[in-house]
């Protein structure tokens, strides 16, 4: 999972000529199995964007469902 926010803390990530964020190799590699990345944004007083592979979301949902049942 990758969390992006303002504040000058952390590593800078490059943006290509079309305005798309270039994901780190470790996140691209993790996304290859599903080919998808989930993007969630929050635009409140502290804006943030969360990027995660859909595999991570599937694992999280499976865990929650297992705990509830």
Convert the pLDDT of each residue in 5-39 to its tens digit. 777 677 777 888 998 888 888 877 777 776 777 77
Of 26, 30, 19, nearest in space to 57 by CA: 30
State how far Cα 12 lies from the chain centre.
15
Which pLDDT score is estimated for 57?
A: 74
Q: Is 43 helix (H, G, I), strand (E, B) or coil?
A: coil
- Structural contact between residues 4 and 43, judged by C-beta atoms closer than 8 angstroms: no
Which pLDDT score is estimated for 8?
A: 67
The model's pTM is 0.54
Sign of CA pseudo-dihedral 43, 48, 49, 55 = negative
Q: Is 39 helix (H, G, I), strand (E, B) or coil?
A: strand
Which pLDDT score is estimated for 17?
A: 92
């Amino acid at each position: 999972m990758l969390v992006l926010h303002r504040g000058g803390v952390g590593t800078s990530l490059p943006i290509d000529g079309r305005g798309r964020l270039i994901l780190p190799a470790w996140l691209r590699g993790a996304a290859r199995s599903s080919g998808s990345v989930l993007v969630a944004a929050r635009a409140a007083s502290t804006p943030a964007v969360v990027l995660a592979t859909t595999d991570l979301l599937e694992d999280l949902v499976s865990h929650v469902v297992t705990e509830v049942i």
